[in-house]
Amino acid sequence: MQIHYIDYPELLKGNIQVPVDETLELNDHLSGFTQDCNNVVLNYLSEYNYKNKITTQYIVTEQLKNKFFNLDLKFSPELQYKINLQHFEKYITPPSVPYKNFICSFNGSAHVSRKVLVSILKKFEYFNPEYCSKNFSFTTDMLDGHIQDYVVNDNFYRKFFIANNSEDFFQAKYSFGHNRFDHASNIYTLETKLTQSFLHIVSETMATSYVPFVTEKFLYSIVTQGLFLAYAQPGWHHQIEKYYGFKLYTKLFDYRFDSIENPIERLLELMTMISKFSKLTPIEWHDLYLSEQDTIEYNYNHYFSKNYLESLKQHG
């Protein structure tokens, strides 16, 4: 039996009966995890004392095993491949174009983490509407509330997210007209924006969750042979290296931000780390790119050879 995230409310209200004699397949992000590893769907199944196997797109780490010790929880490489990882296998070699832009970032649905990401990109003057999308609007008061949810000294942190003229930006939408789920086509819409930008800030699904959840978004940079960093859950970069077998760009980037649990502090640390690259020239960006060319080519070949899938199968 398959249950998708749109069905989770119905499951929790008891309108969907869990199967008693077959594997339960849980698709997508399960609405995320709290800092103490609670999850509304898995908590429900644990309290229900569900006995059959449960497959998920999450890597089932020791943390998850210990938290949900009474559930037969299994990571499914096949499910992850089908939903997130297969979309770019027919992509043709990306265009060779010179750098024109510092950062690109693509932000679809209006999750809290995307609101804070586009806000800090704007405040740092890195949000270029030709290369960054924002398909939603919100208010300054809403953003203030989000910041207050995660930090005590919100008056300090809001200075990095909100300017005097931020409201106009928050209300505006910037879209490239791509289809949210048609990644095989979207790559052709976004490829030039990716290849003309020094760095792709991946706006990962539910970056305010506390357990890594890997989607297809970073692969936009892998297949266009570019550099990326993700605003994602803590440990996300560590996971794509350890379990997926992709290499990180350690000659350029300091990944200490990846271990910071608080999502606001993690994002600020990420932005602070990359800010040193912002004043470089396109030629200098290209020189830095060349310093990571071996890793870029490795990741490209790792994807198209499907070696990453073999890495994942060791943990299924």
First to last CA, the chain: 19
Contact 195, 81 (CB under 8 A): no
d(CA 256, CA 262): 13
- At residue 316, the pLDDT reads 78
d(CA 252, CA 226): 13
The model's pLDDT over 70-80, given as tens digits with 9 standing for 90+, comes to 999 999 999 99
User: How many other CB atoms sit within 10 Å of the CB of residue 38?
Assistant: 14
As given in the structure block, the two tokens for residue 247 are: 């290499």
- At residue 116, the pLDDT reads 98
d(CA 34, CA 106): 25
What secondary structure letter does DSSP report for 151?
A: -
- At residue 51, the pLDDT reads 92
Contact 181, 87 (CB under 8 A): no
The reported pTM is 0.96
The model's pLDDT over 247-296, given as tens digits with 9 standing for 90+, comes to 999 999 999 999 999 999 999 999 999 999 999 999 999 999 999 999 99
d(CA 132, CA 106): 6
What secondary structure letter does DSSP report for 286?
A: H
Backbone angles phi, psi at 104, to 5 degrees: -120, 150
- At residue 95, the pLDDT reads 84
d(CA 63, CA 33): 12
Q: Where are the alpha helices (DSSP H) in 20-164?
A: 40-47, 62-67, 77-80, 112-123, 140-150, 154-157
* Amino acid letter for position 234: P
d(CA 70, CA 50): 8
- At residue 178, the pLDDT reads 67
Reference 124, options 145, 96, 102; nearest CA is 102
* Sign of the C-alpha dihedral computed for residues 94, 97, 99 and 104 taken in this order: negative
Mean pLDDT of each 10-residue bin along the chain, 316 residues long: 88 86 92 96 94 96 96 97 96 89 95 98 97 97 96 93 94 85 90 97 98 98 98 98 98 98 98 98 97 98 98 91
Reference 100, options 297, 226, 304, 283; nearest CA is 283
